Amino acid sequence: MLQWLKKLFSPTPAPSLPAGTLLIDVREPQEYAAGHAPGAVNIPLAQLGSQIARLRASQPPALVLYCASGMRSAAACRQLQQAGFTQVYNARTRQQAAAWLQQSSFCRPDTP
């Protein structure tokens, strides 16, 4: 059990992300307004399904998602993978997303 908790809360190394990767904060708008990772766009989990066509049209090479704990972003990753997106990464939290940002400059702060 201790190993599982250690894995859950240990930092995840940044994946190799292509230029133009889109960073998505799936928290609620008030959470996003209180603070978010630089370059992140806000698409709350409840609205993600209605934004899939716009995401597909913007053709990001990869998507990185985060929320407050990793639960909503994990659900969002599954939803996007089921919609056919293949390069989808769960950064879990804003802090982890910020750490990934420090390791590479992949963000695409435009759209949707």
Question: Looking at the annotation, which residues are catalytic?
Answer: 67
Q: Which residues contact 106 (CB under 8 A, 6 or more apart)?
A: 17, 18, 19, 20, 21, 23, 62, 64, 100
